[in-house]
Amino acid sequence: MPDKVVTRFAPSPTGFLHIGGARTALFNWLYAKHTSGIMLLRIEDTDRERSTDAATAAILDGLSWLGLTWDGEPVSQFERAPRHREVAEELVRMGKAYYSYETPAELEAMREAARAKGLPPRYNGQWRDRAPSEAPAGVKGAIRIKAPTEGETVVHDRVQGEVRFPNKDLDDFIILRSDGNPTYMHAVVVDDHDMGVTHIIRGDDHLTNAARQTVIYHAMGWDVPSMSHIPLIHGADGAKLSKRHGALGVEAYRAMGYLPEALLNYLARLGWSHGDDEIMSIKDMISWFDIGDVNKGAARFDFAKLEALNGVHMRRMSDAELFEIFIATLPYLEGGPAMAARLDDRNKAQLLAALPGLKERAKTLVELVDGAAFLFATRPLPIDDKAALLLNDDARKILRGAHEALSAVSGDWTAAAAESAIRDYAQAGGHKLGAVAQPLRAALTGKSTSPGVFDVLAVLGREESLARISDQID
């Protein structure tokens, strides 16, 4: 292994950071952290038609939200085009590449001839050994690599094993177009070499590229980095992940109320495992991760599992930490901006006090918004359909008695004091505790489910609690 492991994440800025890209970034980041190495970031923006600054910003924002920090400044591949040209021209000087001068029509005829013989369309190498003096006047040629014609190119892959490619299938592919722009295949090799990348971890859709890129490394006499091609993520139905399966941008998962740590835990477990450990902290993942343990087979994305895992992470988190994340994420959550606009010191304190009960029932931060809504509601409370069913005439009679019992609480207004008063009232009136607690919950929160009703009373305080109960009696 080299002195220092250098990985890289190299997204194309043609859209948001999708979930498959996030997992690739995570595996690069974990491997770098596990080996005390570094992860670099390169924006592969050579496709000028489709690359946008907004997409670059979305990718950086997504990585930052997940906590997948990179070392140094992001590198723009487009800005390195002069260096890519320099290497292509050097390969020509070394006799490892050559200029070819076909017109588009000639190339199409070549493809047709191959198809007619039942062969894959390959370049026939007709300019490979011709003298540059034969070049047509005024035509700029493209530069093609001289790929080996016999034997095979072997990719030593830490996930896929040893993968062999017959050289006759690789053909003399273009590394510099006739307009002077490098091809993706060539730019990636030059960038990875110049950036000192020692370990390439990317999707297995790049596996055939790895053979062609190996040809360029060998031609330049450069060391080939360690390669790991990880399986793609599929939907629950086994088909390649698409938008209908959840191939959304990372920012969509933030808006759905997932915690970064839970999402990373879930993504790490897609294609990699550590014994039977399902729940992992970032620290656990860094300590346990090794790229050689990634499975060859595609992993299936399952929203129900992600949601359950997120709920576990929320419950395991300290109230203070969850509170900080919740407040910071409010602007992105459904119903969150309205809640954020009404936050003041008083209801922040109430929210923190209510969190132990709220997080027991929530699997996402969106569910937490929903659960905490009663703290921010203005009187008279909107009552949902299920809660309305609990507030029939008999229940209102019970509420009158509960209101009297709670009004008589002297000393500190605590959950224990409220519970004691309500239990005594229920016992004296021959009511089951639930017959008192359920209408109380409906009156206090406007819902049929909430944290424990005595905790709700304590968090709302004496004045607000009694006022909300009064609203339902009158």
Tokens of 6: 């250098």
Q: Which residue has the tokens 């894959």?
A: 120
Q: Give the count of beta carbons closer than 10 Å to the beta carbon of residue 136.
A: 8
Q: Which residues pair with 152 in a beta bridge?
A: 166
Round to the nearest angstrom and report the end-to-end CA distance of the chain. 77
Closest CA to 63 of 276, 212, 260, 338: 260
Backbone angles phi, psi at 91, to 5 degrees: -65, -35
Distances in Å between the alpha carbon of 160 and those of 155, 175, 232, 288? 9, 26, 13, 20
Q: Which residue has the tokens 């040629």?
A: 141
Please state, in angstroms and rounded to a whole number, the distance separating the CA atoms of residues 388 and 413.
Answer: 27
Closest CA to 264 of 79, 12, 19: 19
Backbone angles phi, psi at 76, to 5 degrees: -95, 120
Catalytic residues: 243
Q: Is 305 annotated as a binding residue?
A: no
- Residues sharing a CB contact under 8 Å with residue 284, sequence separation 6 or more, in sequence order: 274, 277
- Residue 396, CB half-sphere, CA atoms under 13 Å: how many? 10
- Per the rule left: phi > 0, alpha: psi between -120 and 50, beta: everything else, 36 is left
Which residues contribute to the annotated binding site? 243
Which residues contribute to the annotated binding site for ATP? 243
